[in-house]
Amino acid sequence: MPGRLSGKKNSVKINFKCTRRVSIRGTPKEWNSLDIRGLQRTSLIDFPGEICATLFTGGCNLRCCYCYNKDLVFNPDTLPFFSQGEIMSFLQKRSSLLDGICLTGGEPTLQKALLPFLTAVKELGLKVKLDTNGTRPAVLRRLLEKEVLDYVAVDLKGPWQKYPLITGKNIDVRVLKETIALLKDGSLQHEFRTTVVPGILGVEDLLIISKTIEGSPKYVLQQFQPHPNLIDSSLCSTQPYSLETIQQAALRCRQYVQSVELRGF
Ligand code: SF4
């Protein structure tokens, strides 16, 4: 998830990573099923090498213990709704200033109107980065076939056996393997990434994940943020790993993947 989302009805406030805040008005409409519940007008960090707007979709099929977008996952209806028309109008006006969008969540692949929406975004000449938890490979395959994506970031939560502990769900790991294969076998720019949560993931877990994605161009290790509003409140007092520990882990992971990047440290 690129940023933490918070807001009240008809007015969304989004915490930039640089701690700046914006407020944008939106009016609920029922005429389309695309559920956008947050908009960050400009981001320099959510789409590698590009200036983008970041859009947050409502709802998720996982319940990750370290997730800090709790309202987006459990109560998206309590957040402001941005109609497709409002989003398209915003993007049209900003298309000369932006390189693209980052669509994040929640889990964007749950959105039924995803393909027509991304097709419209591409018609504006904007690039599309999709953030996904990798549990919906059929949707990803269709988006790849339709060539509406320019970059995909897949969150890998941990070694397969730790998925129930981390996500609160029993995931069929075959769907995750399918997502990995789709990206590894294709030519689209992509990254796999893991949020490194002390007490839940250790260095050996990161090595297991690296082996699972062996040969991949980029593996990102993301710093855990002990935010007060995490899904699992017992993690709020957990101290993140030190930079040194993760740097050492990154060196070991590097033997399996082409590059390892640290984010949020
Ligand atoms: S996949 Fe996990 S971290 Fe991402 S939005 Fe869903 S619950 Fe939160």
List, for residues 163-196, the tens digit of each pLDDT value. 999 999 999 999 999 999 999 999 999 999 999 9
Q: Which of 4-13, 22-31, 223-232 has the lowest mean pLDDT?
A: 22-31
Nearest-angstrom CA–CA distance, 99 and 264? 23
The answer to whether residue 2 scores a pLDDT higher than 60 is no
Fold of 4-193: TIM Barrel (3.20.20)
Ligand 1 centre to CA of 63 (Å) is: 6
Mean pLDDT of the chain: 90
The answer to whether residue 12 scores a pLDDT higher than 90 is no
In the chain, where the domains are located: 4-193
Per-residue model confidence (pLDDT) at position 3: 61
Average pLDDT over residues 1-15: 46
| Nearest one of 255, 188, 186 to 219, comparing CA atoms | 255
8 A C-beta contact, residue 42 and residue 149: no
Higher pLDDT, 20 or 81: 81
Tokens found for residue 57: 């979709």
Q: What percent of the chain has pLDDT over 70?
A: 88
Q: Which atom of ligand 1 is nearest to the CA of 72?
A: 5
Q: Which atom of ligand 1 is nearest to the CA of 63?
A: 7
Per-residue model confidence (pLDDT) at position 33: 83
If DSSP codes are grouped into helix, strand and coil, which group holds residue 193?
strand
Whether 153 is in the pocket of ligand 1, judged by its Cβ within 6 Å, is: no
Nearest-angstrom CA–CA distance, 118 and 110? 14
Nearest-angstrom CA–CA distance, 119 and 43? 21
Nearest-angstrom CA–CA distance, 217 and 257? 6
Query: In a mutational test of the pocket of ligand 1, which residue from 66, 74, 111, 133 has the highest number of ligand atoms less than 8 Å from its CB?
Result: 133
At position 40, the amino acid (one-letter code) is Q
Distance of CA 5 to the CA centre of its chain: 12
pLDDT tens for each residue of 75-119: 999 999 999 889 999 999 999 999 999 999 999 999 999 999 999
| Nearest one of 95, 78, 98, 70 to 37, comparing CA atoms | 78
Per-residue model confidence (pLDDT) at position 1: 58
